[in-house]
Amino acid sequence: MTRETDSFLFSPLPSGLSLQECEALCTRLAIMVNGRFQCIGSLQHLKSRFGRGISLVVKLNAERTAELKSFVDEHFPENRVKDQHAGIVSFELTGDYKWAEIFGRLEEARSLLHFEDYSVSQVTLEQVFLEFTKHQAEDDRV
């Protein structure tokens, strides 16, 4: 951390700080991949610019998963299933959806499909960071 800018400089190598600590402490962040800066800005700026979509996680009876996927496909056509197991399904909604529209549709689905719970959130800093780490080259030095 530099005192002049209150910025942390990250690389995909272990740095001793968690991303949650950076979110709590930093006002600006830079991400470095392969020794080159890829981005710099406020946390919100990085999430908005480099984050992809909205995260939707639904917990329901595992037998109703197919119905849930059909509902999401019908109302949020620009989506992909990120993960699914034990009745918890995670989606990434990549369309230009309004928050009110998402919550309205999910409350409608909640009564139809009998959700136990759901959460809707903006992508996390960790998800943005992990997208950048996909481009990290292997270090040949051993």
E strand spans, the chain: 7-10, 28-33, 36-41, 54-59, 79-85, 88-93, 117-122
> 59 and 38 in one domain?
no
Residue 41 lies inside a defined structural domain of this protein = yes
- 2: in domain: no
For the chain, what is the domain count? 2
79 and 29 in a single domain? The answer is no
In a domain, 142, yes or no: no
| 70 and 117 fall within a common domain | yes
pTM: 0.65
Residue 30 placed within a domain: yes
pLDDT tens, 92-127? 998 889 999 999 999 999 989 998 999 999 888 887
114 shares a domain with 61: yes
Convert the pLDDT of each residue in 70-85 to its tens digit: 999 999 999 999 899 9
